[in-house]
Structure 1
Amino acid sequence: MFQFKWLWHNLKGDRAGYIFALCMSVIGCSLTIINPYIGQRIVDHFIAGNDAAQHLATEKGLLIGLVLGMVGFSLLRTGLAYFTTLLYERSSQNMLFRIRVYLYNKIQGQDMRYYDRNRTGDLMTKMTGDIEMVRHSLAWIMKTIIESLTVFIAAVVYFFFIDAELTLWLLLLSPPIGIVAFIFARRVRPMYVDLREKLSQLNTITQENIAGNRVVKAFAREDYEIQKFTEKNVNYSKANKAAALVWLDYFPYLETFSQAFLVILMLVGGLFVMNGRITFGELSAFSALIWGLSNPMRTIGIVINDIQRFFASLSKIIEVYYANPDIVNEHNAAGKKRYHGYIKFENVSFKYDSATVLDNINFSVDPGETIAIMGATGSGKTTLINLIPRFYDATKGRVLVDGIDVRKLELDELRSNIGVATQDVLLFSDTVDGNIAFGDPDMPEEDVTSFAKLAAAHDFIAKMPEGYNTIVGERGVGLSGGQKQRIALARALAVKPPILILDDTTSAVDLETEEHIQQSLRELDFTCTKIIIAQRVSTTAKADRILIIEDGRIIEEGTHAELLEKRGYYYDVFMLQNEGIGREASIQYGKK
């Protein structure tokens, strides 16, 4: 029942139209008894009756009227069917639109943990195939069920009106058909749940391979990936065939029972006609409407198949529909302000599941200060900066921005005050201008150009076929790693953030370009606190302070010169990157 309450809730705005369509379906299908009744009158009055010849000679007008009545009711039923189909389609399409928008907004509002635990291909399946299956069920399966039931009930009522005993003989087949249908439904439902999971796996591996096609080609692993895809495709194909072919185990029984209606009608109905219990016209009415009993039995397997698909898809949609993030964005547009850029970590620890990533982190950053963070891969650097815009929340301790715990700040306001550029750059399939102005679509072109110059991106952009109007391929295809990083940096700078977070953003650019970028960052015309993750000493040397993180702890802190004096991790990295430079020279380098 919960599933149907959910559907009813999401039909809001189209409930009246949908209910009206259901009523029209009932009325239209109830009219199916009219033509068999008219046919009965024609047979008994003009063909098989005792005075049939006389009636045919004297009452031609009545015969023509009855024939025209049959034609008229057929056209009426056709018109009603067309009209109700339009209503079903409109209601279901509107519901599909609302649910898809809601799910998209719901997914957008999820925190990073949700994306860590849900595969992209699985989410895509829910947003496309699963939603479409729900729409199909609302528009066509419910329509089929209502119409089949209406025709069945109308036929039974009419048959009882003609002859109750013959009707009971026909209805003897209903219980065994119901039992077969119930057994079939119980067997096929888990198969469709498994089928849906196999489809999700197939979509996931397809999405991953398309997104990572360059890596696949770089390692010449096309054959391997084709084999992986083929394996998933075979699994899906087998599951699909198993679910589809299980119907064949029950089809002979249901088809036999359906055909048995005609056998019973011929045997029992024929005896009743010979005994004078019913007329030829009444037998013809039974014959004309017997499909109202047999056809629902034939289609019951298809309906059950689609219903089980519907429940399997709906359960997945509801998982997203009612998923609530731990970090909630209220999207409160009122009262937003510009921050000063003061940041403080107080005894911050962070665990991902059971693994400790950060342990008792303490440091502060003053407005306008530049902090560089260095450490080995997996030391917790990226996790640390992810706590500032609340991509994750600290397990223990507090992260403060302008003296306020970030958990008490409105998310949109907090994140609008932070510019972020990462090493793994994502550029949208848009113009270069559109990518740089992503945070402010109304940004003037001259400002876009200004920020591109700050990020050392203007020169190569100007050489592109259409300059800033050049369409960038998906994920920046067609640009080098360094070019993508510079566009991402320009995008982060374009919002003039009081807090700028750069996660190894200049790792793919040459030293000369990096020096230009560093100079630009030092000469920004707005106050900006900068937190820079870097592996190059050339990037960290001019920072106001440098933090060294190892296994989630800060093991060194100080200026470039101070850390070289300590002869620790930073000193070792410096010596590796500057072989042959003596201690005094290295310290002097830091003072320049």
Structure 2
Amino acid sequence: MSSLWRLNKYLYKYKGYLLLGFLFTVISNIFVIIPAQLVRVAIDYVVESFSFYQMFEQGGDAEAIRGAFLDFIFVFGVLILVMALLRGFFLFLIRQTIIVMSRHIEYDLKNEIFEHYQKLPLSFYRQNSTGDLMARITEDVGRVRMYFGPALMYGLNLLVLFPLVIGYMLTVNVPLTIYSLLPLPVLSVSIYIVNNMINERSEKIQRSLSELSTFVQESFSGIRVLKAFVREEDSSQNFAAASENYKDKSISLTKVQALFFPLIMGLIGVSTIVTVYVGGMQVIEGAIGYGVIAEFILYVNMLTWPVTSLGWITSIVQRAAASQTRINEFLDEKNPIQSTEDLTSPITGGIHFDKVSFVYPDSGIKALKDITFSIEKGDSLAVIGTTGSGKSTIANLLMRMYDASTGDIAIDGHDIKAYDISHLRDNIGYVPQDVFLFSDSISNNIGFGLDHIPQEVVEQAARDADVYQNIKDFPAGFDTRLGERGITLSGGQKQRVSIARAIAKDPSILLLDDCLSAVDTKTENVILNALKGIMQGRTSIVISHRVSSAKLANKIIVLDDGVVVEEGSHEELMEQKGTYAELYEKQTQAGESMEN
């Protein structure tokens, strides 16, 4: 329960709903007790009145007396009906307060988790799967909502109804109260055991359903690969096996659930029999009237569901506590990447790396080793290297996705850690190596970096990235909606849309992280020529394994295994006949071979 205590802030926030729900619970239970008392009075009145009526049956007043009796019974019936309607009305109000409160708390908790997720560093997402992140914000929050909704509602009802009903039963007849309530603890324990069995099987079903959903999602996302390798039949067989597993677990749950209501009805029957037997003996002895037996049977039925729900409530609370523990694990995660001064001064783009080293915290891989370089404001730098040389790590450090393990990074003479993080990233136009486009229109994808962006700016960015004509060729043009992860577009088109997205925000620093890897040589040359104009007047870093991209930059550094092995202009590096010259010759010869 300790994990759930931190959610008390929400109960305080919605205390109005909670207090009203408690008040309505008390009132509704009062209207539960009164009808049972009316039934007792009505039955006793009928029994006594029938004997009285028999005395006057032969007289002339028999019809008048009979009519008076029936009128009296009718009044009792109307009163009981009115009590039932009033109880129903207040039950409606209980749900409109307690359940509505739980929905508000669910909404707040989901927003709190999602907002916290977005504040966490990139390392957090490398260490946790997307499925697990989604499960905690959906399934786990749903279980916590059950704690604040049904569990709290029925728990309050139990706390109010028990003292009212049992207290009144004891004032009427102590022995009959004890005997009539004997089966209820057995019922509660039995339901608790059955509920645990149901929950255990439900957990297995949930995991099976999650695996089934993941399989289907991957099959649909990779449908091109499935068709290309003619694996449709194999995929169908795997799906059938996963479905069979899900079906078996569902049937197993159904068998346990079949015990639920027979168990309840059986123990209610036992309690009713005990009440009738003990009450009948007391009626024979003249200790009570017939109406008391009927009243106690009604009370036993009133208490049955609250007692039954006790096991169910306990199970809900346990599941909610387990889920909140999982949620708290992520909510307790802290982002070590913080701004030291929240600096928001204009960024012009002077960049300096001073003996920067970096080790990835999750894998322990040392990506950079004491690298030092500078870029003047408005200048351009190409970072060239093979796969795994540490090129993309420079981009991650400059975007403050990570902080350097050792060394310093400065922008415009200020430590990068001094800048407000959002302000820093707003001033960097980032084109990642792995392009991600949202399932939205092309126009909204290009304008993603700003809140409100004019259409003409979007179109100009598309022209600069050499994707304008491709977009116009679509029937819906810029309003074309992309499929999941931009599947509507080719690889090259996706990368050019990603470039247009970076350009559209008019950044001070342009950061291109191997963004031309999916385009052919001809398209690469067109984009490079377009980028020459875009890069004028702004600091630009071009990260690539292709030496052809280096022609954009005034200065080139060559990375190998996280170390700067060469530095200079294209001509200077070619004269050195080192790593860069070797890469240039290999890639040039490979390009010529492909053309031939």
Tell me whether the two structures share a fold, i.e. TM-score over 0.5.
yes
Which residue of structure 2 lines up, in the alignment, with residue 65 of structure 1? 75
Q: How far 1:311 moved relative to its partner? A: 3.1
Which residue of structure 1 lines up, in the alignment, with residue 348 of structure 2? 339
1:378 corresponds to 2:359 = no
Superposed CA offset, 1:508-558 (max 9, x none): 223333223222322237521111122222212342222222222222222
2:278 maps to amino acid: V
Which residue of structure 2 lines up, in the alignment, with residue 160 of structure 1? 170
Q: How does 1:447-458 map to 2 (within 5 A)?
A: 447-458=457-468
Given candidates 402, 410, 428, the residue that maps to 2:412 is: 402
Distance change in 2, residues 1:527/1:231 (3 Å): farther
Superposed CA offset, 1:279-324 (max 9, x none): 1011111122221233334444444444444334333333333333
Superposed CA offset, 1:32-61 (max 9, x none): 111110011111112256855377665555
Given candidates 116, 122, 133, the residue that maps to 1:123 is: 133
Given candidates 139, 145, 148, the residue that maps to 2:155 is: 145
- Contact kept, 8 Å, 2:347 with 2:411, in 1: the verdict is no
CA separation in 2, counterparts of 1:107 and 1:471? 27
Report SS of the residue matched to 1:531: strand
Distance change in 2, residues 1:109/1:258 (3 Å): same
Distance change in 2, residues 1:398/1:194 (3 Å): farther
- Contact kept, 8 Å, 2:352 with 2:375, in 1: the verdict is yes
Moved more, 248-257 or 356-365: 248-257
1:74 corresponds to 2:84 = yes
Which residue of structure 1 lines up, in the alignment, with residue 29 of structure 2? 29
Distance change in 2, residues 1:58/1:515 (3 Å): closer
Distance change in 2, residues 1:220/1:329 (3 Å): farther
Distance change in 2, residues 1:222/1:435 (3 Å): same
Distance change in 2, residues 1:242/1:303 (3 Å): farther
Which residue of structure 1 lines up, in the alignment, with residue 47 of structure 2? 47
Distance change in 2, residues 1:58/1:184 (3 Å): closer
Superposed CA offset, 1:488-511 (max 9, x none): 111111112121111111222233
Given candidates 245, 259, 272, the residue that maps to 1:262 is: 272
- Contact kept, 8 Å, 1:42 with 1:66, in 2: the verdict is yes
Distance change in 2, residues 1:352/1:568 (3 Å): farther
1:14 maps to amino acid: Y
Q: How far 1:336 moved relative to its partner? A: 4.9
1:410 maps to amino acid: D
CA separation in 1, counterparts of 2:428 and 2:140? 37
- Contact kept, 8 Å, 2:182 with 2:271, in 1: the verdict is no
Given candidates 360, 369, 380, the residue that maps to 1:351 is: 360
Q: How does 1:287-306 map to 2 (within 5 A)?
A: 287-306=297-316
Report SS of the residue matched to 2:481: coil
Which residue of structure 2 lines up, in the alignment, with residue 483 of structure 1? 493
1:137 maps to amino acid: Y
Moved more, 410-419 or 89-98: 89-98
Superposed CA offset, 1:540-582 (max 9, x none): 2342222222222222222222322333332222222223999
Q: How far 1:83 moved relative to its partner? A: 1.9
Superposed CA offset, 1:103-157 (max 9, x none): 2212222211111122212222223333233323322232223324433433322
Distance change in 2, residues 1:225/1:130 (3 Å): farther
Report the identity percentage.
30
Distance change in 2, residues 1:202/1:116 (3 Å): farther
Moved more, 78-87 or 174-183: 174-183
CA separation in 2, counterparts of 1:349 and 1:342? 17
CA separation in 1, counterparts of 2:591 and 2:271? 98
Which residue of structure 2 lines up, in the alignment, with residue 273 of structure 1? 283
CA separation in 1, counterparts of 2:236 and 2:402? 36
- Contact kept, 8 Å, 1:177 with 1:297, in 2: the verdict is yes
CA separation in 1, counterparts of 2:579 and 2:535? 34
Given candidates 406, 412, 421, the residue that maps to 1:411 is: 421
Q: How does 1:174-253 map to 2 (within 5 A)?
A: 174-177=184-187, 179-180=189-190, 204-222=214-232
- Contact kept, 8 Å, 2:438 with 2:486, in 1: the verdict is yes
Which residue of structure 2 lines up, in the alignment, with residue 14 of structure 1? 14
Q: How far 1:186 moved relative to its partner? A: 7.2
CA separation in 1, counterparts of 2:233 and 2:572? 53
Report SS of the residue matched to 1:352: coil
Distance change in 2, residues 1:527/1:274 (3 Å): same
Given candidates 460, 472, 476, the residue that maps to 2:470 is: 460
Given candidates 538, 542, 547, the residue that maps to 1:528 is: 538
Q: How far 1:93 moved relative to its partner? A: 2.0
Superposed CA offset, 1:332-390 (max 9, x none): 7x945233332324332323332222222222222222221222222221122111011
Distance change in 2, residues 1:491/1:325 (3 Å): same
- Contact kept, 8 Å, 1:202 with 1:229, in 2: the verdict is yes
Report SS of the residue matched to 2:355: strand
Distance change in 2, residues 1:256/1:67 (3 Å): closer
Report SS of the residue matched to 1:546: strand
Report SS of the residue matched to 1:541: helix
Moved more, 471-480 or 182-191: 182-191
- Contact kept, 8 Å, 2:188 with 2:310, in 1: the verdict is no
CA separation in 2, counterparts of 1:473 and 1:499? 30
Report SS of the residue matched to 1:523: helix
Distance change in 2, residues 1:83/1:491 (3 Å): same
1:564 corresponds to 2:574 = yes
Which residue of structure 2 lines up, in the alignment, with residue 550 of structure 1? 560
Q: How far 1:222 moved relative to its partner? A: 4.7
Residue-pair matches, total:
581
- Contact kept, 8 Å, 1:417 with 1:497, in 2: the verdict is yes
Report SS of the residue matched to 2:384: strand
1:317 maps to amino acid: I
- Contact kept, 8 Å, 2:352 with 2:410, in 1: the verdict is yes
Distance change in 2, residues 1:196/1:319 (3 Å): farther
CA separation in 1, counterparts of 2:328 and 2:500? 39
Distance change in 2, residues 1:256/1:58 (3 Å): closer
Given candidates 111, 122, 136, the residue that maps to 1:101 is: 111
CA separation in 2, counterparts of 1:392 and 1:34? 67
Distance change in 2, residues 1:326/1:184 (3 Å): farther
Distance change in 2, residues 1:181/1:72 (3 Å): closer
- Contact kept, 8 Å, 1:331 with 1:412, in 2: the verdict is no
Distance change in 2, residues 1:274/1:540 (3 Å): same
2:22 maps to amino acid: L
1:492 maps to amino acid: A
CA separation in 2, counterparts of 1:581 and 1:514? 13
CA separation in 2, counterparts of 1:240 and 1:19? 40
Superposed CA offset, 1:200-243 (max 9, x none): 55555555554444444444445565566666666666666667
Report SS of the residue matched to 1:387: helix
CA separation in 1, counterparts of 2:246 and 2:109? 27
Moved more, 131-140 or 450-459: 131-140
Given candidates 504, 513, 531, the residue that maps to 1:503 is: 513
- TM-score of the pair, normalised by structure 2: 0.87
CA separation in 2, counterparts of 1:243 and 1:314? 25
CA separation in 2, counterparts of 1:478 and 1:72? 63
1:347 maps to amino acid: V
- Contact kept, 8 Å, 1:432 with 1:470, in 2: the verdict is yes
2:399 maps to amino acid: P
Distance change in 2, residues 1:188/1:341 (3 Å): farther
